Amino acid sequence: MAGIKRGYDGKIAGLYDLDKTLGRGHFAVVKLARHVFTGEKVAVKVIDKTKLDTVATGHLFQEVRCMKLVQHPNIVRLYEVIDTQTKLYLILELGDGGDMFDYIMKHEEGLNEELAKKYFAQIVHAISYCHRLHVVHRDLKPENVVFFEKQGLVKLTDFGFSNKFQPGKKLTTSCGSLAYSAPEILLGDEYDAPAVGKCVCNSG
């Protein structure tokens, strides 16, 4: 954990100059940033801790725990965590091509099948790797797949609903993104974590 020189409003989070907004979610804003000494570009996920209730704080804890654990070419790397009294900054590997939701919206005529297959295989590799480590993402959706055009890769991000699971033991708590939920989660049934892959809470 690094110290903070100036707050978020001063556009400097510790050692990073914050720049334009790359994306927004329910709990966070993701900004482009540059390391002040090396000039390296990163994505910084800024989370306002004062807006989080107990459940959301638990998700944040799991997000950091799981992202630190997973290291794979098709998963966004978490480089560093900067904690202040009111904000948590996740310093992330920067995607240079936007997210898959925007990509799909820009290609109304549909995607090239070969390319779609290539990206799909990469996402499956990432998920399979997570499951081998007994990590379940639980919020798989196009918004959480980021393009790395220079590397010719897509990478999975946003482990905000992720959790560790014990093989053979079902999870019960329902959460995630409603529009993408598996039937057993919508019905409130207990479910097999790797099979469902996306939703649910830290309480398991």
Binding site for ligand ATP (CB under 6 A): 22-28, 30, 43, 45, 76, 92-95, 99, 143-144, 146, 157-158, 160
Min CB(198)–ligand ATP separation in Å: 11
Q: Select 126 or 146, whichever has its Cβ closest to ligand ATP.
A: 146
User: Residue 30 has which token pair?
Assistant: 């993701």
Of the candidates 79, 161, 152, which has an alpha carbon nearest to the alpha carbon of residue 122?
152
Report the C-alpha gap between 128 and 19 in whole angstroms.
Answer: 34
Q: Select 25 or 170, whichever has its Cβ closest to ligand ATP.
A: 25
Min CB(149)–ligand ATP separation in Å: 11
Q: Select 14 or 160, whichever has its Cβ closest to ligand ATP.
A: 160
Beta bridge partners of 81: 90
Strand 135-136 to 163-164 pairing? antiparallel
Known catalytic residue: 139? yes
45 known ligand binder: yes
Strand 153-156 to 145-148 pairing? antiparallel
Catalytic residues: 139
* Binding-site residue set: 45
